[in-house]
Chain A
Amino acid sequence: DQQVKQNSPSLSVQEGRISILNCDYTNSMFDYFLWYKKYPAEGPTFLISISSIKDKNEDGRFTVFLNKSAKHLSLHIVPSQPGDSAVYFCAASDTGANSKLTFGKGITLSVRP
């Protein structure tokens, strides 16, 4: 049973436009959500996070939105740049338990010059 779902395996956008990456979760105990970015042959790196007490968190070109009632979060990248081309993983945790993160399958983002 997949608790974190990234249903779109890939996304292609034009440079300068907005990229919207979606993520859904099923476990209502999750209270902390993170996005990781992964380039080929490298380990994932932390991008941005959001606590369940917020509905938005912004860091430069990256904004994460959380809709708890819909159990849905999204990552917005504005403007998209070719260097953003990577695999993006959504992850969630129940911080009351431990630091164990549950990851989605990832979305491959391609930003066309």
Chain B
Amino acid sequence: NAGVTQTPKFQVLKTGQSMTLQCAQDMNHEYMSWYRQDPGMGLRLIHYSVGAGITDQGEVPNGYNVSRSTTEDFPLRLLSAAPSQTSVYFCASSHAPGRGTGELFFGEGSRLTVL
């Protein structure tokens, strides 16, 4: 079972460059989200989606864009990378509220360094 797949696993960018972190899930989950993990900060929600065509902001959305054109995919875009976006990024998915426990399934993470 693939579960939640994130690519790339590692990426180094220069300030001002753009890139997209890819996330795909094969569990037919309605809900998908992106978190970032920083030392001493835990996991902070960036953006989330409750279904195809629907996205919303989380706790730390600035500098990131998302879209949800299909149920399976939820890419995270950095339009102009900044050193403050150096972090480990996790994509996660779950069933919609009322259809499951709310348990999130996480990908393995993408480590991004912005120089």
Residues on A lying within 8 angstroms of B by beta carbon are 6, 9, 32, 34, 36, 41-46, 49, 89, 91, 93, 95-106
Contacts and interface: CB of A to CB of B under 8 A. Distances in A.
**Consensus secondary structure, chain A interface:** loop
B58 A100 contact: yes
Contacts of B97: 95-99
A99 B31 contact: yes
Interface residues of B, number: 29
The listed residue with most B CB atoms (<10 A of its CB), out of A6, A93, A98, A102, is: A98
Contacts of A98: 31, 48, 50, 96-97
B1 interface: no
Contacts of A46: 103-105
B94 interface: yes
A103 to B, nearest CB: 4
A44 B102 contact: no
Contacts of A49: 101-103
Contacts of A36: 104, 106
Given A42-B108, A42-B109, A99-B97, A89 B43 contact: yes
**Consensus secondary structure, chain B interface:** strand
Contact of A105 (B33, B40, B98): B40
A54 B26 CA distance: 32
A105 B104 contact: no
Nearest to A105: B42
Contact of B42 (A42, A97, A99, A104): A104
Contact of A100 (B4, B33, B42, B108): B33
A69 to B, nearest CB: 23
Contact of B94 (A9, A42, A89, A99): A99
A3 to B, nearest CB: 10
Given A43-B109, A97-B97, A99-B96, A106 B102 contact: no
B102 A99 contact: yes
Contacts of B42: 6, 89, 103-106
Contacts of A6: 42
B108 A99 contact: no
Given A44-B104, A89-B43, A97-B97, 20 more contacts: A32-B102, A34-B102, A43-B4, A43-B106, A43-B108, A43-B109, A45-B106, A49-B101, A89-B42, A91-B43, A91-B104, A95-B97, A98-B31, A98-B48, A98-B96, A99-B31, A99-B102, A99-B104, A100-B33, A105-B40
